[in-house]
Chain A
């Protein structure tokens, strides 16, 4: 069973003389892009794919910046991620959530900025998304994201129970090549308010426990280097002071080569901090080797 859950294969045989560990050996697009919290995935959702273009004999590394403009807020996300031997993914991301004029309305001061650091790890457990096209078994990965939000005193005032916490998730992803599709689903245990930017849990009657949230994603490969996809992600609604809604995105990811990808999306992040439903656009640039 240990072999099945795949902790063993991290031991990698030696490279060939002319073989680089930066092998860029995956097919274009099959490393996914970087999702909003810095893990390999699509726009909003984490996928079971290990980020980058390293195969089971290689390492892939990439950096990303994502900018989201909403009706009343902006979100910037910058990070790096490394995929080790198509088995383990490690990521570090910093997010800035600008409140603009809404900050004034909320009594925080105009342009008040929330932020958080996210440290992620994802372990591929079993299955293969790409090669086992003769089987329905998806690629499955287990992940965690440690989130450390800034502005603790403000988060306290908003009613959050904590300013740092861990999310746990299980993802299953499969390419259905004969239909040019990717399908992915993730179950996440979290108590993050607005991804963690507004802290974690609630000191109010809504409780402090993690809840099970679902992320799902469907993507169609239009061309070799162009993918059209849609994400839906449920979020907890912990804080008493404001309703929190689910998030959705429709995106187009362009992969001109294995070193660069650009994702543009229309997003709807639901209600945020009493400012009503937040819709807008999303642009993400990823570069790697």
Chain B
């Protein structure tokens, strides 16, 4: 029995070794592909904006904007930033957000919405963090009130 267990362990080990050896092939996939392509980006962007537009902390920022446009531009931005075949054609981040006088807490409220949207989409947490890692440096362009 003892031997059987060890044999089993060695086989599992071999299985994982083979599996991880095959990982570099898929690692050449962009984050865009890993997250499910454009359809997933559109859903995540739309849900992020829906959640944000009803979040008491930041909903006021969405009162006078056309949500469908914001969703579309955010999907494009997600697509481009994750290495997908898109080009963000919306307004540049800095002038767009400056009049909103946003704080770090506002920025994080949007990040939390994006995290929840990704969770609902079934994106694994380590992939969610890869997107958050790309979005985080936008903090210096978006947050003007410190």
Q: Which residues of A contact B (CB under 8 A)?
A: 9, 13, 19, 23-27, 55-58, 130-134, 176-180, 221-224
Q: Which residues of B contact A (CB under 8 A)?
A: 103-105, 108-109, 111-112, 115, 119, 125-126, 128-130, 132-134, 136-137, 139-140, 145-146
Tell whether, in the assembled complex, residue A221 and residue B125 are in contact, meaning their CB atoms are under 8 Å apart. Answer: yes
Q: Which residues of A contact B125 (CB under 8 A)?
A: 180, 221-224
Q: Which residues of A contact B108 (CB under 8 A)?
A: 25-27, 55
Name A24's closest neighbour in chain B (CB-CB): B105
Name A26's closest neighbour in chain B (CB-CB): B108
Tell whether, in the assembled complex, residue B112 and residue A131 are in contact, meaning their CB atoms are under 8 Å apart. Answer: no
Given A223-B125, A224-B125; A131-B146 close (CB under 8 Å): no
23 A-B interface contacts by CB (under 8 A): A9-B146, A23-B105, A25-B104, A25-B108, A26-B108, A55-B103, A55-B105, A55-B108, A57-B103, A58-B105, A130-B136, A131-B137, A131-B140, A133-B137, A177-B133, A178-B133, A179-B126, A180-B125, A180-B129, A222-B125, A224-B115, A224-B119, A224-B125
> Shortest distance in angstroms between B71's beta carbon and chain A's nearest beta carbon?
23
Name A25's closest neighbour in chain B (CB-CB): B105
Total number of residue pairs linking A and B with CB closer than 8 Å? 66
Q: How far is the CA of A25 from the CA of B143 in the complex (A)?
A: 13
Name A130's closest neighbour in chain B (CB-CB): B136
Given A19-B103, A26-B108; A56-B146 close (CB under 8 Å): yes
Name B134's closest neighbour in chain A (CB-CB): A133
Checking B105, B119, B133 against A133 with a beta-carbon cut-off of 8 angstroms, the contacting residue is B133
Q: How far is the CA of A254 from the CA of B132 in the complex (A)?
A: 20
Name B111's closest neighbour in chain A (CB-CB): A27
Name B125's closest neighbour in chain A (CB-CB): A223
Q: Which residues of A contact B137 (CB under 8 A)?
A: 131-134
Checking A13, A23, A180 against B126 with a beta-carbon cut-off of 8 angstroms, the contacting residue is A180
Tell whether, in the assembled complex, residue B105 and residue A178 are in contact, meaning their CB atoms are under 8 Å apart. Answer: no
The CB with the most chain A CB atoms within 10 A, among B115, B133, B137, is that of: B133
Given A27-B112, A131-B139; A57-B104 close (CB under 8 Å): yes
Checking A13, A57, A180 against B105 with a beta-carbon cut-off of 8 angstroms, the contacting residue is A57
> Shortest distance in angstroms between B3's beta carbon and chain A's nearest beta carbon?
30
| Contacts A9-B146, A25-B109, A57-B145 known; 12 new A-B pairs at CB < 8 A | A23-B105, A26-B104, A26-B108, A27-B111, A55-B103, A56-B146, A132-B136, A132-B140, A133-B137, A134-B137, A178-B130, A180-B129
